[in-house]
Amino acid sequence: MHFSLTDEQQMICDTARAFASAELAPVAAEMEGPDGRQLLLGHLQKLSALGFMGLNIDGQYGGTEAGVVAFSLAITELAKACASTAVTVSVSNMVAEVIQAVGSDAQKNHYLPKLCSGEFAAGAFCLTESGAGSDPAGMKTRALRDGDDFLLSGSKIYITSAEYAGVFVVWAVTDPSAKKGKGISCFLVDADTPGLSIGKAEDKMGQKASATNEVHFDQCRVPASQMLGVENDGFRIAVAELAGGRIGIGSLALGVGLAAMDFAAHYLAEREQFNQPLINFQGLQWMLADRATELEAARLLLMQAAWLKEQGKAFGKEASMAKLFASEKANDACYTALQMLGGAGYIKEYPLERMARDVRITTIYEGTSEIQRIVIARDLIKQLNL
C-alpha cells in the first residue's frame, strides 16, 4: 500500500475533522444527557448530506465511492470528538455495504439510497442474542417458511441504533436440522414491519448518545424476496461483514485514544508542579512516547486491513489484528491520559473521564479481544498446512 493519501481520501479526512471540531466537540458532553439522542440524529442528517453514510457505496445508489481507507479515516476523525456518532456512522455504513455486497438489484435500489441520503437515520445489525454472542452460530431466532413469506420469531440484544434504524439486517435459523452455523439465513426487515418491536434503551457505561436496545420478533412476516443472498448461507455473510466492521471499530478506538493523548499532552504543557510544566518531566514524556508509538502502530495496522479490503484481497486476519491492537492500545492510552491528569482526570469537567468510558466497549463489541485472538490464531495455524 501507499502511505500517502489520495486527494479524495485527504478531503474526506479533512471534512470529517472539520465536522467533528465544529459540530461534535462542542456538544460531546451534552450528548450524554437527555437531549443526546436528538443531537445525534441531527448530526446524522448533516453527515448524510456530506456523504458519510455511504462512503464505500456506489454512486448510482447515492454513495460516495470513497473506499475503505477513507471510511477508516473518517471514523477515526469523528471518534476524536464523539464515539457515539462514530459508532452509528460505522454500523450504518456496514449495513449499506452488506446490502451492496449480497443484495439483489431490487434490494440495492430500494435500501441503499435511503441509507445514504439520510431518509433512514441509520441501519442496524441484528445478530447477537442472549445465548449467542461470541458464538453467533448458536442463535435461536427462527424463520419459518409460510408460503412466499418467512415468519421470524426471537429476540436480539445490544443492537446499535435500533430506536431509529430504518432497516434491520436480521439473522435467523431457517434449517434447524442443519449442522450448527449451516442453517442460518439473513433478512432485510423494515422498521415498521408488524411483529417487530424495540425494547428500552440500555443504560450504558459509555457511548450514551448511541441507542442500544433489545429487538423482538413476534411472528414477524417477511417476504422471501427480503432474504439477503441465498437460503442457509447467512452465517458466511455474518462472518464476512464482522471482519469489515472490525476495521470501523478499530478506527473508532484509535480516534478516542488519539484524542485522549492530545488532551493530556496539552494539559501537561500548561499544568505546573515544582515550578515547571509537567511536560518537562521525563517519566511523563516516556508515557507520551510509548502511547504515541502504540497508536501509530495501530493506525498502520488499520490502514493495511482497510487497503486489503479495498483491493478485494483477503483481510480477515489483518482486520482482527488491527481491531485487537487498536482497541487494547486505545484503552491503555485513555487510562494513561487520565492518570496524567491526576485527580482532574476523574472529574467530568475534563473529557478524559468520558473518553475512558467510551473506549472501554471497543475491546468487546464487533468481537471481543479474546475472539480476535482466536480468529488470528486459526488463520496462522491454517497456514501451517497441518
**Angstrom distance (rounded) from CA 208 to CA 84:** 7
**Angstrom distance (rounded) from CA 139 to CA 148:** 24
Which helix or strand (DSSP H or E) is residue 335 part of?
helix 316-340
Who's near 181: CB < 8 A, 6+ residues apart?
Answer: 137, 235
Expressed in percent and rounded to 5, the helix, strand and coil fractions of the chain are 55, 15, 25
> Radius of gyration (Cα) for the chain, nearest Å?
21
Q: Write the DSSP string, 119-155.
A: SSSEEEEE--BTTBSS-GGG---EEEEETTEEEEEEE
> Which amino acid does the sequence have at 108?
K
Q: Cβ atoms within 10 A of the Cβ of 258, count?
A: 22
Active site residue 349: no
**Angstrom distance (rounded) from CA 159 to CA 151:** 20
How distant, in Å, are the alpha carbons of 23, 145, 159, 247, 327 from that of 366? 27, 30, 11, 10, 11
Please tell me which residue in 77, 353, 366, 370 is annotated as part of the active site: 366
Give the rounded distance of the alpha carbon of 178 from its chain centre: 31
Q: What are phi and psi of 237, to 5 degrees?
A: -60, -45
Cell of 258: 488519539
As annotated, the active-site residues are: 366
